């Protein structure tokens, strides 16, 4: 009897211990399962959060891409606008060059000697050179000048053989020849169109000296010799016209190059 009770008591304690152990195991398993689930949930939540972050990041990146895309579109517009500006600038530049090529020609007519004046002075200088050559030949050959009277007011021989036909021991005809050789060169269109200002100053100075010399010769013919020479008078008249035209050119246009030089310079600048 006593032994049976002891066995039952031991069996009861053993069962209680076994139940307690099973309960503890279940509790631990539940706890672990909960922890695992919780951890998994936490991890999953973190993953979800990370996914959200990824999505947000992707959205941001996409948004940035959109913004960058907008920037690219803006850059395209800028590049296109730059091309348009370059084309416009090129067209404006071409138009400007065309305008510059056109303006100097018009401006040259206003700021440089006119072409008719250049040609007129050149022809007059050649005419004076021709007469001077003839007078020089007549002086050294002592021949009579053709078509010139030998008496009265018009007496070419009296004038060309007078003491006043020499200046500083040099025949006046030779001085006239030297001047008109120089005048034919400096009154040419090429000289009028020269770029150097000194050439235009020298032209003006030469005609001033020439007209002074002509005034002396006219005084000598009228008041000292008492006769005039038609050939000499023609040279005097040509010199006077050259002086007037050169003075007009200097007063109206200044000492500036002519049309052809300004047009050539405009073409070279383009």
- pLDDT (tens digit per residue) in 207-248: 999 999 999 999 999 999 999 999 999 999 999 999 999 999
**pLDDT value of position 142:** 84
How far apart are alpha carbons 104 and 96 in whole angstroms? 12
Mean pLDDT of 182-195: 93
202, 185 in Cβ contact below 8 A?
Answer: no
Residue-averaged pLDDT of the chain: 72
The rounded distance, in Å, linking the Cα atoms of 137 and 253 is 38
Q: Which of 59, 82, 111 is the last residue of a domain?
A: 111
Number of domains, the chain: 2
- CATH at residue 249: 1.20.1440.130
User: Is 124 found in the same domain as 32?
Assistant: no
Task: Say if residue 137 is in the same domain as residue 239.
Answer: yes
Structure tokens at 223: 């008041």
Q: How does 248-262 read in b/e, with b if 16+ C-beta sit within 10 Å?
A: ebbeebebbbbbbbb
Closest C-alpha among 246, 241, 249, 250 to residue 128: 241
Q: Tell me the percentage of the chain whose pLDDT exceeds 70.
A: 53
Domain's final residue, options 50, 85, 111? 111
Domain range for residue 125? 113-269
DSSP-H helix ranges across the chain: 2-111, 115-141, 156-160, 172-186, 189-192, 197-219, 230-253, 259-269
- Split at pLDDT 50, 70, 90, the class of 151 is confident
Residues 70 and 140 in one domain: no
The 10 Å Cβ neighbour count of residue 80 is 10
Asked if 247 and 97 count as a contact pair (C-beta separation under 8 A), the reply is: no
């Amino acid at each position: 009897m006593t032994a049976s009770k002891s066995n039952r008591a031991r069996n009861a304690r053993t069962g209680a211990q076994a139940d307690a152990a099973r309960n503890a195991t279940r509790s631990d398993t539940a706890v672990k399962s909960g922890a695992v689930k919780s951890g998994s949930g936490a991890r999953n939540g973190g993953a979800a959060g990370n996914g959200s972050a990824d999505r947000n990041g992707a959205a941001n990146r996409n948004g940035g891409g959109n913004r960058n895309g907008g920037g690219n579109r803006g850059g395209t517009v800028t590049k296109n606008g730059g091309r348009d500006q370059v084309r416009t600038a090129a067209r404006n530049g071409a138009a400007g060059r065309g305008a510059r090529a056109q303006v100097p020609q018009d401006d040259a007519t206003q700021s440089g000697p006119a072409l008719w004046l250049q040609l007129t002075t050149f022809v007059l200088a050649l005419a004076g050179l021709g007469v001077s050559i003839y007078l020089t030949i007549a002086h050294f050959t002592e021949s009579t000048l053709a078509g010139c009277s030998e008496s009265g007011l018009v007496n070419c021989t009296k004038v060309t053989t007078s003491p006043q036909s020499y200046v500083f021991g040099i025949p006046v005809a030779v001085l006239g020849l030297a001047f008109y050789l120089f005048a034919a060169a400096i009154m040419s269109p090429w000289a009028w169109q020269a770029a150097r200002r000194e050439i235009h100053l020298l032209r003006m100075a030469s005609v001033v000296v020439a007209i002074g010399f002509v005034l002396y010769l006219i005084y000598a013919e009228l008041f000292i010799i008492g006769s005039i020479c038609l050939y000499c008078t023609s040279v005097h008249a040509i010199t006077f016209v050259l002086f007037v035209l050169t003075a007009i050119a200097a007063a109206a246009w200044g000492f500036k190059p002519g049309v052809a030089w300004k047009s050539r310079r405009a073409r070279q600048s383009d």
